[in-house]
Structure 1
Amino acid sequence: MQIVPSDGLKVIIRHFLIYHPSTSNSVMTFFSDGNPGIVVPLSYSRLPFLHNQKLQEGELIAYGLMEHPIIIPPPPACGIIVIVLQPYALAFLSGIKPERLKNCILPLSALFGLSASFLQMAIRGLNDEGAIIKELERFFFNLLSTLPPTDELLRESLYHMKQSNGKISIQELLRGLFVSERLLERRFDRFIGISPKKLNGILRINHYLKLLRDPNHVYTPVQAAIEAGFYDQAHLNNKFKEITSTSPLKYLASLDPLAMNLFSFRG
């Protein structure tokens, strides 16, 4: 279930995603949707997502933008809340360069120190998901109150890219924004860590998946590929495997998809 954040937080949060797994023993594949995020365990459980460090009960983790798919252990049976952030938000909030956050999963306390510890204490013992989200929003409002406004050019470029589902060409984007390609690439490098072209490709793949799973319109794989802006099936398959590590058909046969970019295979 997706929950939209309060209006004042939409500049940094895309949505909250509440997930209760139907199975507790399936490893999962995670691939990029173009956004970093934060994972919150429900019922003060322990997340299994850090292989080189044992997490404490109730400890939150953050993940940067992932360039390659990764395998993660199954989430706790009690469920999780995923805070899906805007592409630039984790670097903006933490003050850490996106290049250092890219492909990383780390405890939230490593980014926000005592503020993250106080947040974990505040949600400890809360069983109501709505109450947990209120505490999470309070945390983000407090962070935003100490920071300057987010970059307007970055917000506007991301808006047009997402509105087109990644189909807008970079040249068309530049003409609409009245900026040079060099300037836009520098902003993306500074705040997101990948190029506009690469993010466009990620958005197109995720749009393709949405089309295939659209309950109101039945698309064949070829129809969905054309609608998503891929010029042929081979082009789609190559880009799909690069981002997800699997094929479209295997993805569609996956078990218990949490979101477009998280799934497990049937045994």
Structure 2
Amino acid sequence: MQIIPSPNLTPYIKHYLFLDLMDFHNGLFRTFADGNTGIVFCLGEGALYKDGIKLPKVFCYGQITDYRVLETTGTLRLIIAVFKPFGMSSILHTPAGELKNKIIDLESVIDNSVSTIYEALCETVSNLEIAKNLNDYFSILLQKREVHMFSMIAAATNWIAERNGLFKAEELIHFTGYSQRTIERTFHNLVGLAPKKLGGIIRLHHFLGEVRGTGNKYNFTPKVFDSGYFDQAHMIREFRKITGLTPTTYHVKSKRLAVNVIVLPDENIQL
């Protein structure tokens, strides 16, 4: 389930995602890059692990460039604030480049107000009420922040998304009116990815959406060229680089909790 944040937060937060993780086979699931960052609240008696290490009850994750295999034990509910590419660094006032491919305890990034919001979420049953609590929490954090170059980065990332990740460097320079060096530096600080890398992830998700809409789980060829890939081999290579899977495994053999959160049979997990 997804809930859209309050209007003052929509420039920064894409949605709140609610995932109920019960005891599914070996507890392993996979998440891969979608160009967004997030803050995760782990509610319930269960726990979440990465590489055998228990993750904090509340953590933030930066941009990832490939995929992660996570493990859950017991009954666990994840509440994820999914930020737009530049959103989390804008609200937390933390350089996005420092969070790239990292999972960090949120309390080490901000302050002990994390425990207050966590306890409030644990005591709340309704998803709408949880969303309201998160809106209040992030609105307070937002009041403390002023982000230099926010307008440019917001416009640039939207422009890239509207083009489904397909663009040339000189086109982005012309659109923003800034030099390539300024654009690259701003993307590093606020997004955590270079424009072209973000574009590649957006292109993959556009392809996923196009294939999902056809109802054909096996014949991907018609959408390969439409999505800007040179040929099917190019698409499969990029697909595996980001997801660790082939398109067929993703569409046919996996159970999707979200577009980029999937549960796989034991034999398909690649650690």
What TM-score do the two structures reach when normalised by structure 2? 0.88
Q: 1:223 to 1:261 in 2, by over 3 A?
A: same
Corresponding residue number in structure 1 for 2:41: 40
Once residues 73 and 151 of structure 2 are traced to their aligned partners in structure 1, the CA distance between those partners, rounded to angstroms, is 36
Matched letter for residue 77 of structure 1:
T
User: Contact (CA 8 Å) 2:45, 2:75: kept in 1 or not?
Assistant: no
How do residues 149-188 of structure 1 correspond to structure 2 at under 5 angstroms? 149=147, 151-188=150-187
Preserved CA contact (<8 Å) 1:24 1:77: no
Contact 1:254/1:263, CA 8 A, preserved across alignment:
no
Alignment of 1:1-267 (within 5 A): 1-21=1-21, 24-25=24-25, 26-42=27-43, 44-51=44-51, 54=54, 59-74=57-72, 77-149=75-147, 151-214=150-213, 220-267=219-266
CA contact (8 A) 1:93 1:143 kept: yes
How many residue pairs align between the two structures? 264
Specify which structure has the higher proportion of strand.
Answer: 2
- The 2-side partners of 1:154 and 1:225 are apart by 29
Aligned-partner residue type, residue 238 of structure 1: R
Structure 1: runs of 5+ lacking an equivalent? none
Q: CA deviation at 1:24?
A: 2.5
- Identify if the C-alpha distance between structure 1 residues 234 and 50 changes in structure 2 by more than 3 Å, giving closer, same or farther: closer
Q: C-alpha distance in 2, partners of 1:207/1:33? A: 10
SS at match of 2:81: strand
Q: CA deviation at 1:149?
A: 4.6
- Superposed CA deviations along residues 166-219 of structure 1, whole A, max 9, x for unmatched, are 123332222222222222111111212221011100100111111121267989
2:23–2:73 Cα contact (<8 Å) kept: no
Task: Quote how far apart the aligned CAs of 1:23 are.
Answer: 5.5
Q: Deviation digits for residues 41-82 of structure 1, max 9, x if unmatched? A: 34x4443135565457xx222111112211101375353222
Q: Which residue of 1 aligns with 2:269?
A: none
Contact 1:226–1:232, Cα closer than 8 Å, also in 2? yes
- Structure 2: tracts of 5 or more residues without a match: 267-271
Distance 1:254 1:64, change over 3 A: farther
CA distance in 2, matches of 1:75, 1:255: 20
- Mapped partners of 1:218, 1:101: distance in 2: 35
